[in-house]
Amino acid sequence: MNRNKIKSVTLIELIIALTIFTMVILGFLSIDVFSRYQLLSSDRRAKLQNEAAFILDHMTKTLSTVIGSVVEEPVNLTQVSGTTQQVIGFIDNGSGIRSTNANVSYCYNTTSCQAGTYILSFQRPAGTGAVETLSTHVNFFSANLVNRNQLNVNISLCWDPDNQPHPCGTMDNPAISMNTTIRFPGVSIN
């Protein structure tokens, strides 16, 4: 008798095939999840860098018109615990003389410019003009007068400055820091 060989898939072969198929699918899914996660983190970091560059450029353009006098600094700084709360600069009135009426203000986490937590705002003239919010991601701001003609500005931004649920500097909550030196045009005699 000639028996026909019956070909079939055994249970072990089926389990091996399903295991290999599952591993391939999980590999593709993990690559997809990882790339989406990296894209989101990179996008957040790029937005923070653009925001910090905008703030420093805004400050540089505005404060480079600030002028001091022989007896007064070109800017007044209010600091609390090493963090600058307010920078008020007095602008040239057009004749090379410091004007006490024409000024600009940058405020961080203070009520004097009607700012809230983690907000850096701009106001012209200081104390009376409309408040423009420059950022809501700032978690550190510092401005130090190096000499009568230079101001060093350091700023740190975090995607979620409240550190909830992830602390600043993690992949889910990226953070960046930037600094610049702003040079003032000169000192007036008045």
Q: Which residue has the tokens 């307010």?
A: 86
Question: pLDDT, tens digit, for every residue of 83-127?
Answer: 778 888 887 766 767 776 778 888 887 665 666 677 888 888 766
Q: Left (φ > 0), alpha (ψ -120 to 50) or beta: where does 118 sit?
A: left
Residue pair 136/160 in contact (Cβ under 8 Å)? The answer is: no
Q: Which of 35-39, 139-143, 179-183 has the highest mean pLDDT?
A: 179-183
Q: What is the pTM of this model?
A: 0.76
- Average model confidence (pLDDT) for the chain? 82
Residue 111 to residues 87, 114, 168, 174, Cα–Cα distance (Å): 14, 5, 25, 27
